[in-house]
Chain A
Amino acid sequence: MTPLTGYLIVAALIFAIGLAGALTRRNAIMVLIGIELMLNAANLNLIAFWRYSPHPELLTGMMFAIFSIAVAAAEAAVGLGLVISIYRHAKTADVEQMNRMKG
């Protein structure tokens, strides 16, 4: 069986890729994809820790991950909605142009 460290390394890599995407991409859609990647890296960690925990028969990690996916889905929907609405308004999806969030 693959050791826990392997999963954690994969999750960390996915997280790092997601973070890099979110921080560097200009396209808002790409930023959203980066965020989805980070969320899924976290989900992978949850599942891995659950699987290697002393009591895997309790479906706690699984439940957590499913909740997280549900929340991520909702978040993706909202985020996509926002991006579309900004696009309609400003005719661009470039995050560098979106500078009107000052309070």
Chain B
Amino acid sequence: MMQEAIAFTPQLDASSIARWLWLIPALPIVAAGIISVLKQPRRKLASNLAIGSMGISLLIAMSAFVHVLSGWSNGHAVREVVNFSWLTVGTQAVELGWVLDPLSAVMLVMVTFVGLLIFIYSTGYMEHDENYTRFFCFLALFAGAMLGVVIANSILLLFMCWELVGLTSYLLIGFWYHKPSAAAAARKAFITTRVGDIFFLLGIVWLFAQTGTLLFYDRGAGSMEPLALGGLLVHHSHWGLTAAGAIGLLIFAGAAGKSGQLPLHVWLPDAMEGPTPVSALIHAATMVAAGVYLIARVYPLMAAGAIAPGTTTALTVVTWVGASTAVFAALIAVAQNDIKRILAYSTVSQLGYMMAGLGVGGVAVGMFHLITHAFFKALLFMGSGSVIHGVHEEQDIRRMGGLRKYMPLTFLTYAVGMLALCGVPIFFSGFWSKDAILESAHSWPLSHAPYYMLVFGAVLTAFYMTRQVSYVFFGEYRGHGHAHESPRVMTTPLAILAVFAVALGVIGTPAWPWFRAFLENHAASVEMHAFAEPAWLMLLLTSCVIVIVGIGLGWWIYGNKSPRSEEPDALQKAIPPVWTVLANRLYIDELYGATVIAFYYWWAKVADWIDRDIWGDMVSTVIWLTNHWARLNKFLDATMVDGAFDKGCEEIYNGGGVLARIQNGRGQIYLRLLAVAVVILAAILIWSGRP
């Protein structure tokens, strides 16, 4: 079979918008390529290119979304795929493609919109950085890769973009690479996510081996479609797992690495070494959500063979890991003093909520929280960036305080984000999405423990956010210099995000579950009586109690206290041992340092020893032998061969001298010699001829 270049065969049923969907990731990537060859002082052009490409991508994403929306409102389940074979190896074609369905459409709009706002915000935040052009190059490349993950219909294409996302994350965390801590954090992020990615890759290979296709949806032949899933369920693996369950777990390991789930979360807090817009874009709104999105994308595989919703082995694991992460990270967040680190642990915790939501409630529940979280967490991160900017690059919340007087707009928007994150009922989007997760967890048939864990996590969330806001915005200013409000280019995106942090809740209320209906392809209707159902009222009450307890406790302990920066924390005074453990992040990094990394060092030492003392010695022995053999040869050559030759030459020379004496120029002597020779010849002839 001929090795063809990319054979482009768009499927006939794909609409033109679906066929042009590739432009959405391609534009930022092209922009990144152009920016990468720009000279460093072309700052304005670089940021304009990045923002322009992102703006066009947003427009295309919106029109794609509208297209899906119109299809949905006409009662069609829109899932348009464009597949093409990338290259052919033997009889197997490696197929890539993209998909336009409600899931990818929603995600596209979210990523492009939040991304665009963060790009604009970055022009203000990075204004004084000399590597402004490089920053926008990386940012645009990241956005392109992330959008590639979103539209991918082939698990291979998804993995490629996934790795690109990991690379750009590495580049951006280590953007200030001259700081050793940033360089270390970048390496840590890259290596830790690599651990998950190895499992992910194994899952991909296994999935490909089992189903024979890389595509998710391919008119009934894709790996996420009933035919292939049926095959995966029949095949049994070890430990009572079906192949579907085992592959699901492997893929979840990859998602856990990217989304900072429990054993692999260590990189995410350290990733805050990067510039704040990066933290907002990558480590709050989009990249870390990629893991959640991946699980949503392969949800048919995760849920295959379930008797009741969310009861497969894979989803059970997802739920437990998610719920543990939610509580665990929230606990650590309580005892942190770095404004971005608190938000980082909060992100880990909220990602746990999303995972748990996916596990217990399905795609719509997890994705709803992903979308609302993306907006309010980006808002919080950008707000924290604005705060850091305003108090002269100070990140310790103990050296802030009273900022509501100096930065009113930042305070207002930050408060909106904080209330949304805490899940304050009715008015904030975070309430509706968290509520949906709690509701699903409450009705999970296997166990109630995740529900209580999530409730406890929610209390903690409200508590640590109140602590943070009290420290930063209330009391007296304890920092150095004069705090000032950030420029308009930074506060405007905050305001826009704040509007969305409130308004997004509308699309997911129980009375009008539009988001769920959209993702699950059924019609949505407004049913006001859903608000009156006792189960929901109970949940509302629970949420109210959670929020009141959390915020009340926080305000009681920290509100308007204005502690001096050297003074120990209020909680530290009350329960010092617990505080120490939490402040040291439950010693997870130390645990890894003592186990995995220590083992790695030991193993590296062993390898070093083998290399030096075994292989190295073998090589030097061979070198020694060769060397001495060469010396022997040199000696033989110099004395024996050369000596013999020289001697031979000398003797020939001497012989020549003797013979030259005979040739004395006298003809008669020659003649005599001739006569003697003839006589000798005759004698020989006579004596040999006669026997």
Q: Which residues of A contact B (CB under 8 A)?
A: 19, 22-23, 31, 95-96, 98-103
Residues of chain A lying within 8 A (CB to CB) of residue B671: 22-23, 31
In the bound assembly, the distance between CA atoms of A22 and B672 in angstroms comes to: 9
Apart from the given pairs A22-B668, A22-B671, A102-B663, 11 other A-B contacts in the complex at a CB distance below 8 Å = A19-B675, A31-B667, A31-B668, A95-B666, A96-B666, A98-B665, A98-B667, A99-B664, A99-B665, A99-B666, A101-B666
A96 to B666, CA, bound (A): 7
Some 12 contacts from A to B, beta carbons below 8 A apart, are: A23-B668, A23-B672, A31-B667, A31-B668, A95-B667, A99-B664, A99-B666, A100-B665, A101-B665, A102-B663, A102-B664, A102-B665
Expressed in whole angstroms, the minimum distance between the Cβ of A9 and any Cβ of chain B is 15
B residues less than 8 Å from A23 (CB atoms): 668, 671-672, 675
Question: Whole-angstrom distance from the CB of B689 to the nearest CB of chain A?
Answer: 16
Q: In the complex, which of the residues B664, B668, B675 contacts A95, with contact meaning CB atoms closer than 8 Å?
A: B668
Q: Once the chains are docked, how many angstroms separate the CA of A31 from the CA of B667?
A: 10
Q: Mark B641-676, 1 if CB is under 8 A from A, else 0.
A: 000000000000000000000011111100110010
Q: Which residues of A contact B665 (CB under 8 A)?
A: 98-102
- Majority SS of interface residues in chain A? loop
Task: Show the binding face of B for A, using Cβ within 8 Å.
Answer: 663-668, 671-672, 675
CB B382 to nearest CB in A, in angstroms, measures 107
B675 touches A98 (CB 8 A): no
Q: How far, in whole Å, are A10 and B326 apart by their CA atoms in the complex? A: 139
Distance in angstroms between the alpha carbons of A96 and B667 in the assembled complex: 8
**How far is the CB of A43 from the nearest CB of chain B, in Å?**
17
* Residues of chain A contacted by B672 (CB below 8 angstroms): 23
A101: chain B residues at CB < 8 Å are 665-667
Taken together as a complex, chains A and B put the C-alpha atoms of A95 and B671 apart, in Å, by 11
Residues of chain B with a CB closer than 8 A to A19's CB: 675
Closest 5 CB pairs of A and B: A102-B665, A101-B665, A99-B665, A95-B668, A99-B666
Q: Which residue of B lies closest to A25 (CB)?
A: B668
Q: Determine the distance from Cα of A26 to Cα of B22 in the docked complex, in whole angstroms.
A: 118
How long is the Cα–Cα vector from A101 to B668 in the complex, in angstroms? 11
Minimum CB–CB distance from B664 to chain A (whole Å) comes to 6
Give, as a whole number of angstroms, the nearest-CB distance from B448 to chain A: 123
Number of A-B contacts (CB under 8 A): 29
A89 to B663, CA, bound (A): 22
Residue from B666, B668, B672, B675 with most neighbouring chain A CB atoms (10 Å): B668
| B675: chain A residues within 8 A (beta carbon) | 19, 23
Nearest CB in chain B to that of A22: its residue: B671
Whole-angstrom distance between the Cβ of B668 and the nearest chain A Cβ: 5
C-alpha spacing A101/B671, complex, angstroms: 13
Q: Write out the residue numbers on chain B whose beta carbons fall within 8 Å of the beta carbon of A100.
A: 665
Chain A residues with CB below 8 A from B663, complex form: 102-103
Q: Report Cα–Cα, A103/B672, bound state, in Å.
A: 18
Cα–Cα, bound, A103→B663 (Å)? 8
Closest to A35 in B: B671
The residues of A that contact B668 with a CB separation of less than 8 Å are 22-23, 31, 95-96
Smallest CB separation, B407 vs chain A (Å) = 114
CA distance A96 to B663 in the complex (A): 14
Q: Which residue of B lies closest to A19 (CB)?
A: B675
A44 to B667 CA separation, bound complex (whole angstroms): 26
B666 surroundings in chain A (CB, below 8 A): 95-96, 98-99, 101
Q: How far is the CA of A98 from the CA of B671 in the complex (A)?
A: 13
Measured between alpha carbons, how far is A19 from B666 in the docked complex, in Å? 17
Chain B's nearest CB lies how many Å from the CB of A34?
9
Inside 8 A of B664's CB, which chain A residues have their CB? 99, 102
Query: Residue on A with the closest CB to B672?
Result: A23
A22, B51: Cα distance in complex, Å: 120
- Expressed in whole angstroms, the Cα–Cα distance for A19 and B675 within the complex equals 8
A26 nearest CB across to chain B (Å): 8
A60 to B591, CA, bound (A): 121
Query: Residue of B at shortest CB range from A101?
Result: B665
Q: Chain B nearest CB: distance from A4 CB in Å?
A: 18
Closest residue on chain A to residue B678 by CB atoms: A19
In the bound complex, CA of A22 to CA of B668 (Å): 8
CB distance from A5 to the nearest CB of B (A): 16
Which residues of B lie under 8 Å from residue A95 when comparing CB positions?
666-668
Cα distance A57–B175 when bound, in Å?
A: 121
| Contact partners of A22 in chain B: CB under 8 A | 668, 671
In the assembled complex, the CB of A20 is this many whole angstroms from the nearest CB of chain B, namely 9
How distant is the Cα of A91 from the Cα of B203 in the complex, in angstroms? 117
Give the complex CA separation of A102 and B671 in angstroms.
Answer: 14
CA–CA, A99 and B663, complex, Å: 10
Chain A residue with the shortest CB-CB distance to B668: A95
A102 to B669, CA, bound (A): 12
Bound Cα distance A101, B663 (Å)? 8
